Structure formats: C-alpha cells, structure tokens
Chain A
Amino acid sequence: MTSAPSAEKPSISLTTLASVFFRVGMASFGGSTAAFLYREVVQTRRWMSEEEFLAALTLSQVMPGANPVNMALYVGSQLRGGVGGFVAAFGLVGPPFVVILILGGLYARYGGSPVVQAVLAGVVAIGVAMVLQLGTQLARNIRRLVPAIIAAAIFLAVGVLNWPMIPVVLVMAPLSVGFELYLISKAGNG
C-alpha cells in the first residue's frame, strides 16, 4: 500500500484516524455521517479538498455498501493505505455496534423507554441540522453555473420526484464528467 496518491500527503497517525472516526461514528445520528465527516476531514483538519471529498461521496453512494463505511474506507486508505481504510471503517462501526446491542438488549427487556426515545429524537434533530448545514455550506461554494444546474437536477429528481438514485446518477454523471472533460480539452488546446 505504498502508492502515494498525492505528493503532500500529510502524515496522520492511525490513532488519530481511529479517534476521528470513533467520534464521527458515535455522533452520526439521523444519517449525518457525511456531514460530520465533512466537518472533521475537510473543514477542521484539511485532510482533503472539498472537491475530492464530494467525488468520494458520490463513489461511496453508487458503489455497494453502507455509504458511511465506504466513506471511511476511502478517507482512511487515501491517508494511510489499506491499513488506514480498515482502521477508519472499524473505528466508525465498532462503537455504534456495541451501542446498538445495548439499546437492543434494553428494548428487549424493558420495551421502549419513553425517555431513551426522547433523548434519541433530540440528537437525531441535531443530525438533521448537520446535514442541512452541509447543504448550505456546499451551496455557498458553488461558483459555476453548469455544476449548479446538475446539482439542482439531481436534487429535483431524487429528492422531490423520488426517482431511484442509481439510474439518475448513471445518466447525470457521464454528462457532468463529459462537460468537465470538454473544459479540460478546450483549456489544453487553447
């Protein structure tokens, strides 16, 4: 796993990697893993650019597997090779695995506790806020018209019209990538 993808790869210890993914895993309520990861990996620690993070997110969503786990594999292996990918994925899933078994055991023994449910509902609300904040942050960073239109079309198709994600992405991704290829070739010739 010595193939260094980028020259100025920051050296990050496996312990740091594990502790970041531990925190993200335990905090990611309400489907907010990507939002917590963006905060840690792009904003706070600057381990990767926003563009690379988003490309990895698309890859994680299209490939089979839980999106958070795929993201952990990507970020971990980008920073520390295969071992890093394993450490990140294990850090992300291990602690919530223990938590969900405890919750499941409590549920089986005592039934649903209203207090536990209320507390979980409260933290889920913050998870949703994190996802919305990621959305506003990304929207603010859109600088070009065509990518903005593509993002809006995806949102409309998948979010509003509830079309299945995979076919929508399979149609839109080649268009979007083709547009960028066209720009690159134009810049190369001019």
Chain B
Amino acid sequence: MDSRLLGLILVFAPLSLVSFGGGQAIIADMQVQVVEVQGWMTAQQFADIFALSRAAPGPSTLIAALIGWQVAGFAGALVGTLAIYVPSSIVMYGAIRWWQSRADSPWRSALQRGLAPIAMGLVFAGALSVLQAAQVSMLQLAMTFVALGCLVFTKIGPYPLMIVAALVFGSLQFV
C-alpha cells in the first residue's frame, strides 16, 4: 500500500478510537500529529481547513477528508475519512447491539430515562458554546434570533430560512 495512505490510517484510526465526546475532543491532537509530527501541512493551512470544516455541512470531523486530500489526493481523502469514522463506528455499533439486547430489562428503561436529562443539558451547553465563539458576528446573531422566532412561533421550517439567509448574506457582499 502507498505509504502515505498507510500514514493516514496510522494517524487517524487511533484518534478515532479515543474521540470520546466527539470530534472536537481530538482536534488538538490531530493538529499536533498533522502539523508537527508528520509535517503534512503548516499550522496556518491547518487553521484554514479547520475553519472550512466548521463552516461546511456535515460533521466537523470531515476535516480528515481535507487532510487526506492534501496528503494523497482523492484516495487520501477517502482513506482519511474511512480511518476517522470506521474504528469508532465499530465500537459504537457494539454498544448499540448491547443496548438493544437489553431492550426489555428494567435497567434499560432506567438508563434511558436517566440519560435523557444529560443530553438535554449538553444540547444547551453546545448552543451556548457556538454562540460564544468569537467568529459569530452581530449580523449572524440577529439572523439566528429572527430564525429562532420563525421556527418557534410560525410553521416556517429551516430549509426556506436557510435559502433566505444564504441570499441575504450573499447579496450583502455586493452592496
């Protein structure tokens, strides 16, 4: 196998297995590996593609695709993406099977009820951390709260709002 592809697997697969808490948990280690240890790109390049992966749709761990592309083109993007998702997915799938096999036990019902408020707290925490991020502009904040009003008080769904937001923000560039 191409040694660059092997390198991608050796860097991303272990990170995948220790990404407890999600992708953001491994970004710092990923940067150390990619920039300092492997020398695949500069710190500035890493910062640029990190911003891109946050702005683009989908999980922010898709940064692995951009790193893979930089290292070995399309094959690298594919291998990098698989290496970041497959190992953790196998572990998660095992946990799901265990969880489902206990569907009828009283433990499972207590677990389910007990875990729900944890997720609720984490949803609020996640929303707050996005709002606190320095890159959020006043205009974005205003758009967010107008959209929130529409979502809560009207029947307007998120997709029309996204089109409107894209048009408004895009056209403001030409004013």
Q: Is the CB of A101 within 8 A of B110?
A: no
Q: Is the CB of B166 within 8 A of A119?
A: yes
* Residues of chain A within 8 A of B110, CB atoms compared: 177, 180-181, 184
Q: Scan B120-160; emit 1 where CB is below 8 A from any A CB, else 0.
A: 11111111111100001101110111011001100000110
Q: Is the CB of A176 within 8 A of B126?
A: no
How far is it, in angstroms, between the C-alpha of A132 and the C-alpha of B148 when the chains are bound? 7
Within the complex, the shortest CB–CB distance from A102 to chain B, in Å, comes to 9
Q: Is the CB of A54 within 8 A of B119?
A: yes
How far is it, in angstroms, between the C-alpha of A113 and the C-alpha of B46 when the chains are bound? 18
Q: Is the CB of B123 within 8 A of A101?
A: no
B3 at the interface (CB under 8 A from A): no
Q: Is the CB of B59 within 8 A of A69?
A: yes
Which of A121, A122, A133, A172: most chain B CB closer than 10 A? A122
How far is it, in angstroms, between the C-alpha of A66 and the C-alpha of B84 when the chains are bound? 9
**Interface size bucket, B side?**
35 or more
Q: Is the CB of B116 within 8 A of A97?
A: no
How far is it, in angstroms, between the C-alpha of A89 and the C-alpha of B111 when the chains are bound? 25
The answer, among A89, A123, A134, A172, for a CB contact under 8 Å with B165, is A123
Main secondary structure of the interface of B (DSSP, over half): helix
Q: Is the CB of B126 within 8 A of A31?
A: yes
* Residues of chain A within 8 A of B87, CB atoms compared: 64
Q: Scan A22-42; emit 1 where CB is below 8 A from any B CB, else 0.
A: 000111111101111001000
* Residues of chain B within 8 A of A78, CB atoms compared: 96, 100
How far is it, in angstroms, between the C-alpha of A112 and the C-alpha of B114 when the chains are bound? 45
The answer, among A3, A73, A117, A160, for a CB contact under 8 Å with B93, is A73
Within the complex, the shortest CB–CB distance from A185 to chain B, in Å, comes to 8
| Given A85-B96, A100-B56, A135-B124; A115-B118 close (CB under 8 Å) | no
How far is it, in angstroms, between the C-alpha of A152 and the C-alpha of B118 when the chains are bound? 9
* Residues of chain A within 8 A of B99, CB atoms compared: 59
| Given A27-B57, A172-B118; A133-B152 close (CB under 8 Å) | yes
Told that A67-B23, A125-B140 touch, could you supply 15 new A-B pairs with CB distance under 8 A? Answer: A39-B158, A55-B116, A58-B119, A63-B92, A64-B92, A66-B61, A70-B88, A70-B92, A93-B85, A104-B69, A151-B124, A177-B110, A180-B109, A180-B111, A181-B107
